[in-house]
Amino acid sequence: MSHADLDQTAKSILTDNDQGGYTIPTKGLYPYQWNWDSVFVALGFATFDQDRAWREIEMLFEGQWRDGMVPHILFRKDDPSYFPGPSVWGTNGGPIPSSGHSQPPVAASVVLDLVRGDRTGQALERATALFPKLMAWHRWYMTYRDPDGLGVIAVIHPWESGRDNLPDWDDALRAVEVRDIEPYERKDTSHVDPAMRPHKEDYDRYLSIVAACRKVGWDPAKVAETCPFFVADPGVTFIFLRANRDLLALAQQLGMGKEADEIRGWIARMESGAKALWNPDIQAHVALDLRTGKQTDGISCASFLAPYAGLTDTATMAAQRAHFDRMASKVRYMMPSYDPEHGCYEALRYWRGPVWAMINYMIARGFAEAGDPARAERLRNDTAALIETSGFAEYFSPESGAGAGGGTFSWTAAIWLTWASPSHVEQAA
């Protein structure tokens, strides 16, 4: 297919997955509105319909909980093709049935992009309406996912990280006692080859964490205190630090002085706290189990989000470049979701090795902003080549380029439109 044909296919995927103001990731496998999926989808819509881009984010925030949390799934209908559905979660925190935890908070960053790229004349008005909701969500993160003020953001469930079966969760997940779960039937493996999905023993523990949180009524303070899984994640930490910087820029543009001061405090706390994620033995930021104090020993794609978060000191950047080049010598396509030289790497199993387009986009943006356009361009070219070769798959093998997971995937289409498409790059030039 030509680049123009791929552009049109990507637009068609977004419009076909549109459910009337919100977009599902793909039909069958993911029939609901997912948090960070929707926000990346907004970037894609913004290339041809900015009003629809705003609507995507506005509809996501319709599901915001009373305590400020924005859930990772909004169950706007009960679709039997997906498990676990709303009855398993047992939540009552907001106006729409939902899951009980959040997902990587990219919304503030995309809202700022929409404001800066506005062609409608309505962006400041719509951003003003969203701003207090963004503030409430960010306060929730600072309060309940960093309850001890460490400056790193914990996840209470692998699903909250957005990178479900990452090897970094293995040890912490093994410590979760399998209990309080009813017999269940997974639906994901009826849509996708089981070899590309998490194992059953992982799912047993995923559901045990849900059961433990349901026992305390999803009270965020009690969850932070008692949840059997509580791991500081470089992915959410770096995405959130970037989101706070972007929320500060938005506050300044909107004249929100008091809020700007509050956000500056969050940024300072996190800039200091990020040091706790640095593993000196492997020269990378890694996950930290806050229940045991143990760091992980592997380098994930999230380790490369430090520049995206604005952490560009000399030592960090030197380590980033060295690891980038080492991994690039081991795989055909960058960026594998886990170090291909680590024993837990699997080229086609979800977050244990495959390449994800939206992660490449964030990593590349960080490298470009840090003054490293060559590595940023390598990521863009690889992402484009993967899509040209294997279509708009959920994720891709870093070795063969084969597409895997769900097909006609919304955020892959969105990343093509907003960043990876050569025709988009030519227009920007």
Q: Nearest CA to 47 among 93, 15, 2, 1?
A: 15
Report the alpha-carbon distance of residue 271 to residue 244 in Å, rounded: 11
Q: Nearest CA to 231 among 395, 352, 101, 60?
A: 101
Residue ranges of alpha helices (H) inside 217-356 are 220-226, 234-254, 257-273, 314-328
Q: Return the structure tokens found at 338.
A: 């886990």
Q: Nearest CA to 148 among 306, 311, 290, 294?
A: 290
Say whether 289 is catalytic.
Answer: no
Report the alpha-carbon distance of residue 322 to residue 83 in Å, rounded: 41
Q: In DSSP terms, which residues pair with 231 in a beta bridge?
A: 155, 289
Instruction: Give me the catalytic one of 7, 56, 164, 168.
Output: 164
Instruction: Give me the catalytic one of 37, 56, 339, 394.
Output: 394
Q: Nearest CA to 28 among 406, 426, 346, 295?
A: 406
- Pairing verdict, β 284-285 and 278-279: antiparallel
Report the alpha-carbon distance of residue 418 to residue 414 in Å, rounded: 6
Q: Return the structure tokens found at 111.
A: 């809202």
Q: In DSSP terms, which residues pair with 26 in a beta bridge?
A: 30
Give the 3-state secondary structure of residue 98.
Answer: strand
Report the alpha-carbon distance of residue 390 to residue 348 in Å, rounded: 14
Say whether 79 is catalytic.
Answer: no
Where b means 16+ CB within 10 Å and e means fewer, 324-343 reads beebbeebebbbbbbbbebe
CB 127 within 8 A of CB 111: yes
Report the alpha-carbon distance of residue 93 to residue 101 in Å, rounded: 10
Is the previous residue joined to 71 through a cis bond, with omega within 30 degrees of 0?
no
Report the alpha-carbon distance of residue 233 to residue 155 in Å, rounded: 7
Report the alpha-carbon distance of residue 51 to residue 217 in Å, rounded: 37
Which residue numbers are catalytic?
164, 394
